[in-house]
């Protein structure tokens, strides 16, 4: 019996196969821009040739570059994961590393037959080239001879230039506009990473759609400049919203300036919005960490009102025609029913259908049509109309009578909904009084809310507590808060939902401003509870107000902060919607 050693051979076609992983030339070029990001570059310039000109594609960055040793040991190592060598973040700017598979180096060969890499670091310039025809002449890619040219350069020079030549004639040339739209998704919000494509910097106006720019001097804020685009693409943007800039710096995350709080605005349209607003007059109304504007600032409200009005008008112009077309398709189906209505009812039905289409924008017609049909039935049948008027004028004491009427129509479940909504209104009124009382303690708010987590939103309503969970909290706190520290013991609530996920709520007094220490304390409780619990634990910190030092961005995952006033206001809007906005009630 004989034994022999075998080894894998890496076919030279691997480079070609890896380069074909990208669905388009623009996606392949983005991979090379990702490499510049990982090299801590601040500027990247992409130059595209004119179609059929025979020119080259050039990607140049001012990143850290590579030494000859790094070029040999790391760049030429196929499928080597950079993160396993250097960690999840870059050394200089602490950026999350994008290169994961170690194959991005071949992406340029999707668009070109020749790729020349020139890199500068620590006083030396190194150059190598890869050609598809040379790869085709060897069976094993490890047998390919790659010439390395190395020479001295100025010590202050650093960065990498990739030149792609002999572009494949069978493929469409990379399109500058398409490339900008792809890059914008990942890099449009980055202040420290400027990308130029054909001498134009990546900017708000690169979104495919309607671009708007307006300057206005507001009475108290001063000059405000708003620039935004509304995408005409079918899918939403990856980082939608309007970024607030003060003195050139971005403040917090992109937002929607109140549009996301409006019941009459289609939520799906929010994901098509991309832009920024400059308002230097808010500089004294920004938190110390530069992570958010002061929420109760009157100047901020002035900016929000200005921005929201312009956004609504722009949306109206761009999407009203589309919504009207959807209405026309529906009206074609129901035209006979509409024509049978009296004139005044027909006009009312037309307005009501527009509101429904606005609210359900983007939903399939099969979902919208039943809502429209219920509306029309209510207008066609006087008994439906009488019932709806009765519900509209009802008080909580009329619920039993309403239930009888609803049962006659086979809709008894709607009476339960009305009764529940009315009861929740009373509960929120009492909770609001507690939250406004300076003498209210954590324990009082805990008791009021422990069985009413719907107040925080529907995503919390399935969490519930039990004796075992309460005991775990008792065991954890009992070890620390004893003796003189007992009177400083926090008020915690630990709950579990049907999926085995956990929710840890830390209650603070309504008159207590949440600060950085409260955040650190809350996540410390989670770390301690993980000794008992292995499943994910979501943390919710709730109090009366927020101090400027409470972190808003760089928080641990699954940590949220809520204010009692915001929670009650949002819950009240949801209840009011149930009572007034549902077409069936």
**51 and 142 within one domain:** yes
**Which CATH number does the domain housing residue 255 bear?**
3.30.230.10
Contact partners, residue 268, CB within 8 Å, separation at least 6: 236, 361, 362
Spatial distance between the Cα atoms of 505 and 293, rounded to a whole number of angstroms: 25
Does residue 7 lie within any of the structural domains?
A: no
Which of the listed residues 176, 197, 218 is the one where a domain comes to its end?
197
- Rounded to whole angstroms, how far apart are CA atoms 508 and 110? 58
Cα distances (angstroms) measured from residue 487 to each of 103, 473, 480: 59, 16, 12
Pair (187, 67) in one structural domain: yes
Same domain, 155 and 66: yes
Residue 76 near residue 87 (C-beta atoms within 8 A): no
Q: What is the pLDDT of residue 43?
A: 97
Q: What are phi and psi of 225, to 5 degrees?
A: -120, 120
What's the CATH number where 116 sits?
Answer: 3.30.565.10
In a domain, 380, yes or no: no
Q: CA-to-CA distance for 83 and 217, rounded, in angstroms?
A: 48
Residue 428 domain-assigned (yes or no) = no
Same domain as 220, residue 159: no
- Which of these three, 156, 179, 197, is where a domain ends? 197
Return the axis-axis angle of helices 343-359 and 298-339, rounded to nearest 10°.
130
pLDDT in single tens digits along all 585 residues of the chain = 445 443 334 444 544 545 456 678 888 899 899 999 999 999 999 999 987 777 899 999 999 999 999 888 888 776 555 555 667 888 889 999 887 555 667 788 888 889 999 999 999 999 998 888 887 777 767 777 888 899 999 999 999 999 999 887 766 678 899 999 999 988 998 889 999 999 999 999 999 888 999 999 999 999 999 999 999 887 788 889 999 999 989 998 899 998 888 766 777 888 899 999 999 999 999 988 888 888 889 999 999 999 999 998 888 887 776 666 666 666 666 677 777 777 767 777 777 777 777 677 667 767 777 777 777 776 776 545 555 555 555 555 554 555 554 454 444 445 455 556 777 788 888 888 888 888 888 888 888 787 777 788 766 766 666 556 666 666 666 666 555 544 556 677 777 776 678 888 888 888 888 888 888 888 888 887 777 777 888 888 888 888 888 887 777 888 888 898 888 888 888 777 766 644 444
Nearest partner of 160 among 40, 24, 26, judged by Cα: 40
Residues 549 and 497 in one domain: yes
Residue 137 and residue 103 share a domain: yes
Q: What is the pLDDT of residue 196?
A: 96
**Residue 68 domain flag:** yes
289 and 251 in a common domain: yes
Q: Six-digit token pair at 205?
A: 């106006």
One domain for residues 17 and 100: yes
User: Would you state the pLDDT for residue 466?
Assistant: 59
Q: Decide: helix, strand or coil at residue 381.
A: coil
Closest alpha carbon to 511 in 454, 435, 444, 408: 435
Is 402 a domain residue? no
Residues 173 and 253 in one domain: no
Taking the C-alpha atoms of residue 334 and residue 374, their distance in angstroms, rounded to an integer, is: 12
Q: Are residues 186 and 220 in the same domain?
A: no
Domain encompassing residue 213? 205-319
pLDDT at 533 (0 to 100): 77
75, 170: one domain: yes
Report yes or no on 94 lying in a domain: yes
175 and 244 together in one domain: no
Q: What is the C-alpha to C-alpha distance for residues 218 and 301, in angstroms, rounded to an integer? A: 11
Distance in angstroms (rounded) separating the CA atoms of residues 417 and 213: 45
Q: Residue 449: its pLDDT value, please?
A: 80
On whether the CB atoms of residues 508 and 519 are closer than 8 A, the answer is no
Residue 210 lies in a domain: yes
User: In 3D, which of 445, 401, 454, 404 has the Cα closest to residue 425?
Assistant: 454
Interatomic CA distance for residues 234 and 125, integer angstroms: 45
Which CATH number characterizes residue 473's domain? 3.40.1340
Domain boundary among 175, 197, 219: 197
In a domain, 325, yes or no: no
Number of separate domains in the chain: 3
Asked if 242 and 228 count as a contact pair (C-beta separation under 8 A), the reply is yes
């Amino acid at each position: 019996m004989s034994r022999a050693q075998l080894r894998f051979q890496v076919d030279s076609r691997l480079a070609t196969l890896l380069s074909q992983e990208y669905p388009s030339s623009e996606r392949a070029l983005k991979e090379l821009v990702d490499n510049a990001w990982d090299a801590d570059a601040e500027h990247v310039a992409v130059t595209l040739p004119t179609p059929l000109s025979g020119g080259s594609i050039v990607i140049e960055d001012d990143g850290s570059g590579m030494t000859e040793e790094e070029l040999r040991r790391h760049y030429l190592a196929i499928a080597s994961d950079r993160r396993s060598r250097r960690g999840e973040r870059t050394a200089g700017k602490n950026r999350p590393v994008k290169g994961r598979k170690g194959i991005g180096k071949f992406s340029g060969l999707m668009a070109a037959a020749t790729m020349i890499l020139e890199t500068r670091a620590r006083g030396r310039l190194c150059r190598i080239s890869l050609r598809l025809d040379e790869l085709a002449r060897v069976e094993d890619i490890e047998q390919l001879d790659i010439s390395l040219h190395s020479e001295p350069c100025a010590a202050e020079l650093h960065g990498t230039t990739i030149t792609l030549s002999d572009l494949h004639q069978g493929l469409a040339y990379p399109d500058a506009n398409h490339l900008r739209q792809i890059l914008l998704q990942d890099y449009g919000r980055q202040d420290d990473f400027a990308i130029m494509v054909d001498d134009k910097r990546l900017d708000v106006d690169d979104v495919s759609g309607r671009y708007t720019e307006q300057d206005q001097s507001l009475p108290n804020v001063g000059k405000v400049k708003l620039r935004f685009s509304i995408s005409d693409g079918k899918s939403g943007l990856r980082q939608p919203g309007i970024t607030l800039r003060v003195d050139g710096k971005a403040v917090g995350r992109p937002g929607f300036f109140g549009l996301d709080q409006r019941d009459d605005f289609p939520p799906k349209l929010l994901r098509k919005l991309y832009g920024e607003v400059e308002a230097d007059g808010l500089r004294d109304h920004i938190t110390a960490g530069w992570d958010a504007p002061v929420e109760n600032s009157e100047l901020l409200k002035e900016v929000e009102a200005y921005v929201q009005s312009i956004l609504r008008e722009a949306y109206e112009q761009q999407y009203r025609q589309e919504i009207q077309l959807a209405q026309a398709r529906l009206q074609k189906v129901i035209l006979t029913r509409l024509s049978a209505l009296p004139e005044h009812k027909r006009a009312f039905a037309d307005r009501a259908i527009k509101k429904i289409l606005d609210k359900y924008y983007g939903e399939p017609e099969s979902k919208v049509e039943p809502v429209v049909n219920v509306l029309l039935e209510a207008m066609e049948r006087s008994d439906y109309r009488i019932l709806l008027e009765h519900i509209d004028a009802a008080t909580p004491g009329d619920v039993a009578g309403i239930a009888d009427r609803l049962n006659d129509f086979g809709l008894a479940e709607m009476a339960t909904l009305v009764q529940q909504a009315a009861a929740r209104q009373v509960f929120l009124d009492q909770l609001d009084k507690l939250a406004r009382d300076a003498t209210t303690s954590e324990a009082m708010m805990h008791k009021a809310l422990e069985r009413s987590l719907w107040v925080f939103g529907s995503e919390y309503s399935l969490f519930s507590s039990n004796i075992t969970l309460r005991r775990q909290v008792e065991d954890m706190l009992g070890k620390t808060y004893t003796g003189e520290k007992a009177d400083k013991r926090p008020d915690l609530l630990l709950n579990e939902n049907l999926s085995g996920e956990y929710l840890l709520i830390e209650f603070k007094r309504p008159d207590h401003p949440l600060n950085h220490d409260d955040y650190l304390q809350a996540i410390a409780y989670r770390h301690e509870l993980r000794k008992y619990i292995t499943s994910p634990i979501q943390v919710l910190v709730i109090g009366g107000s927020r101090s400027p030092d409470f972190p808003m961005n760089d928080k641990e995952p699954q940590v949220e902060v809520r204010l009692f006033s915001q929670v009650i206001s949002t819950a009240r809007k949801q209840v009011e919607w149930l009572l007034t906005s549902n077409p069936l009630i």
